[in-house]
Amino acid sequence: MKFNTDFLIIGSGISGLSLSLNLSNLVPTERILLITKESLHESSTYHAQGGIACVWNTNDSFEKHIQDTIMAGDGLCNENIVRKIIIQAPERINELIDLGVNFNRNENGEYDLGQEGGHSERRILHVNDQTGQSIENILINNVKKHDNIEIKEKWCAVNLYVKNLKCHGAYVIEQETDEIHNIAAKATILATGGAGKVYLYTTNPDVVSGDGIAMAYRAGAMISNMEFYQFHPTCLYHPYAKAALITEAMRGEGAILKDMRGYEFMQKYHPQKDLAPRDIVSRAIDAELKKSGEDYVYLDIASYKNSEFIKSHFPGIYEKCLEFNIDITKEPIPVVPAAHYCCGGVMAGIDGLTEIKNLFVIGEAACTGFHGANRLASNSLLEGLVGAHECANYLSAHISNLKIREFAEWEPGDAIPSTEAVVITQNWDEVRMLMQNFVGIVRSDMRLKRALKRMNIFAEEIDYYYWNYKVEKNLVELRNLSMVAELLIRCALSRKESRGTHFNENHPNKLELARNSYIKRPW
């Protein structure tokens, strides 16, 4: 079936929802179609705990936030982009407040600003430890009030339709009917998030399989810096605790990392100890686990804060841990590092512009130069807000130049219904295990080369399955996941140094000249 719309937005996190609202306000006569492959709530935004970084009080300054961001980015941030985003932060935050987001306040009625690793000042606005959930709910409620925004849940994008480096829309599966629609649009915006599911251990929800990055790459877009995958130092270690993040804000409030014997260890790795940047903390934990042979370390807040403080500041984590019989007011939390954030992605401007005409990428799927080689904590939601604002302004200013061009319906060819879905599940597990073991926190040339060789085998099997059997969501995700895994490995192999979140034990030093990595589909 064919659909026409003015703007096709793929993804329902903070970037996609904010863009929908901004466009609806700026060009209320235009039609906006927002699709998401599960429910609207199912996004990385919903699971974000810590908050949003923003210069808010007189002790802080834009320059401090800018320098903290650049320091974390380890030589690869685009300073011009960093300045533009950080200076906008208060205005974008006030817009969220106007929409109904109630950030925590202290006893004086002022906003309760948290501090996280890499920040020189307290500047994290938050809603307890469930900031993302609060923002997501507020944005969804406001989006639903706009008549020109149409929402389609359980619609999974398969491929972009690009001709002569101009995007005209996308092919999309309606999961309830298995029908593939072609949606023609004046502009297509990817707000699909990162690719955390490429790793075995991740803080991301199941939907985060690198769809936007893979689709853009297949369409001919430039991909950059995929080797910089940030691992969050503290994910709850439990066989059934799926993607249970333990916010960095807990260390900001005094929690200490300890080994199994109860000894603190971060002082051995960085002057800021437990508040060091995420890549350093993750590597420190990884080193301790390799040395001890244990499966996890402990994060201890119970020894430093009373029960009332812990329950009031971290109610979500308290309840989540209780589900697994862990009382964080009385005992330390078992934690491991887990894949958390994609610092690279599709090369795009702050307004989402890519080299493919009428294709825009915002949020985690984009590589704008804001994060460089390592994202500063709580800068991600901020980038999503600013990117949505800038993209909406660009699209509204250029709406008269944008046209809808319809394209041919999906052609299934001789594809037959799947008879061996076990191929999908087997490859899914193998890709993620391979990436965890060979392309994780600490890498080597040998492991990366072995990973690439195995990925080529997986890609061949997946490609055969894709072209011979009817397309369905799990196959689409697996295809995208394996493609992003290959991009990540190739970018990692091209970097003969250690920088930011990328550490290669064969190249432990940093090169004097900082450079970005680039990869583009050969034609």
| pLDDT surpassing 80 at residue 243 | no
Listed in sequence order, the residues at least 6 apart from 403 whose beta carbon sits closer than 8 Å to its beta carbon are 186
Predicted confidence at residue 501, as pLDDT, reads 93
pLDDT band at residue 523 under the 50/70/90 scheme = low
Rounded to the nearest 10 degrees, the angle between the axes of helix 79-99 and helix 62-72 is 120
pLDDT digit string, tens, across residues 410-447:
888 777 777 767 778 888 889 999 998 899 999 999 99
CB atoms within 10 A of CB 373: 26
**Positions marked active-site:** 278
pLDDT at 327: 97
CA–CA dist 221, 145 (Å, integer): 34
**DSSP 8-class letter at 202:** B
Q: What is the pTM of this model?
A: 0.91
Q: Using one digit for the tens of pLDDT, what is the confidence trace for 279-302?
A: 889 889 988 988 888 989 999 999
When pLDDT is averaged across residues 143-170 and rounded to a whole number, the result is 96
* Nearest-angstrom CA–CA distance, 479 and 179: 19
Give pLDDT, residue 291: 87
Average of pLDDT values for 210-217? 97
Element (H, E) at 52: strand 52-53
Q: pLDDT category, 331, cuts 50, 70, 90? A: very high
For residue 445, the cross-strand partners are none
pLDDT at 416: 76
Could you read off the pLDDT of 343-367 as tens digits, one per residue?
A: 999 999 999 999 999 999 999 999 9
Domains delineated in the chain? 2-192+207-223+343-401 (3.50.50.60), 229-338 (3.90.700.10), 422-506 (1.20.58.100)
Residue 116 has a pLDDT of: 83
Contacts with 244 (C-beta within 8 Å, 6 or more apart), sequence order: 203, 235, 236, 238, 320
The beta strand positions in 81-196, using DSSP E, are 124-125, 149-153, 155-163, 166-174, 179-190
pLDDT class for 486, splitting at 50, 70, 90? Answer: very high
HSE-CB at 400 with a 13 A cutoff on CA atoms is 1
Least reliable range by pLDDT among 94-103, 279-288, 488-497 = 279-288
Positive/negative CA dihedral, 353, 356, 361, 365? negative
Closest of 343, 346, 374 to residue 483, by C-alpha = 346
Q: How much is the pLDDT for 367?
A: 98
Long-range CB contacts for residues 99-105, cutoff 8 Å, separation at least 24: 99/138, 99/139, 99/142, 100/138, 100/141, 100/142, 101/127, 101/134, 101/135, 101/138, 102/127, 102/134, 103/51, 103/127, 103/131, 104/128
What mean pLDDT do residues 136-147 have? Answer: 96
- The tokens for 440 are 């994780």
If residue 91 lies in a helix (H) or strand (E), which one and from where to where? helix 79-99
* Model pLDDT, residue 156: 97
Structure tokens given for 93: 């935050």
Q: Identity (one letter) of the amino acid at 166?
A: K
Contact 463, 145 (CB under 8 A): no
Distance of CA 170 to the CA centre of its chain: 22
| Cβ burial 80-100 (10 Å sphere, 16+ → b, else e) | ebbbebbebbeebbeebeeee
> What local confidence, expressed as pLDDT, does residue 211 receive?
97
% of the chain surpassing 70 pLDDT? 99
pLDDT at 176: 92
Cα of first residue to Cα of last residue in the chain, in angstroms, is 30
Contacts with 342 (C-beta within 8 Å, 6 or more apart), sequence order: 194, 195, 196, 210, 213, 226, 228, 229, 230, 364, 365
pLDDT, the chain, mean: 93
Would you call 218 exposed, middle or buried from its count of C-beta atoms within 10 A (0-12, 13-18, 19+)? middle
Helical spans, DSSP H, in 300-444: 307-313, 315-322, 380-397, 422-438
Nearest to 409 by CA among 218, 214, 246, 170: 170
Percent of residues, the chain, with pLDDT higher than 90: 78
Tell me how far apart the alpha carbons of residues 392 and 261 are, in angstroms, rounded to a whole number: 53
